Amino acid sequence: MESAFVHTPLGIAKLEGDEKGLASVSILNEDVGTTTIIPEVLEDAVYQLQEYFSGQREAFSLTLNAEGTDFQKKVWTELLEIPYGKTISYLALSKKLGDAKAIRAVAAANGKNPLWIIVPCHRVIGSDGSLTGYAGGLHRKKWLLNHESPAKQQSLF
């Protein structure tokens, strides 16, 4: 598994993957010694992430290879259907997956998403519109939703 580090407005992102695809993207909560060498298998992912943060990309076109249970992968696949600049509630996501009562399992799978930003778990909010649960921290979730908002001059929250 190869690694690359990208400086973003939200901190340093660590990307991991190999020839089978991108396995994880995570945000580091501390500044670590990072190398500037980007492995060839991660060049496209780094480039697309940089385009996203510069406002030039709304959708990613990458081969993904995240590890998870079948249920988690089903949830993550549904997350990919949430359009840029839009949000969905955990309840609505559960209903789309066929079981409104699975809301806690859906939320847990959302929280285990290993592909920060690429699989847009930040677009899932509480039924009342509140920002709830985000592994990267609610301040980052708020930043991402504002970044994707069509009304850039106004804050969503």
Would you call 121 a catalytic residue per the annotation? Answer: yes
Q: Angle of helix 103-111 relative to helix 70-79, nearest 10 degrees?
A: 80
Domains of the chain: 2-54 (3.30.160), 70-148 (1.10.10.10)
Catalytic residue among 10, 121, 144, 145: 121
Query: Which tokens hold the place of 17?
Result: 């993957």
Residue found under tokens 């609505």? 92
Q: Is there a contact between 121 and 110 (Cβ–Cβ < 8 Å)?
A: yes
| CB atoms closer than 10 angstroms to residue 2 | 15
Rounded to two decimals, what is the model's pTM? 0.90
Q: pLDDT tens for residues 43-71? A: 999 999 999 999 999 999 999 999 999 99
Q: pLDDT tens for residues 83-139? A: 999 999 999 999 999 999 999 999 999 999 999 999 999 999 998 988 887 878 899
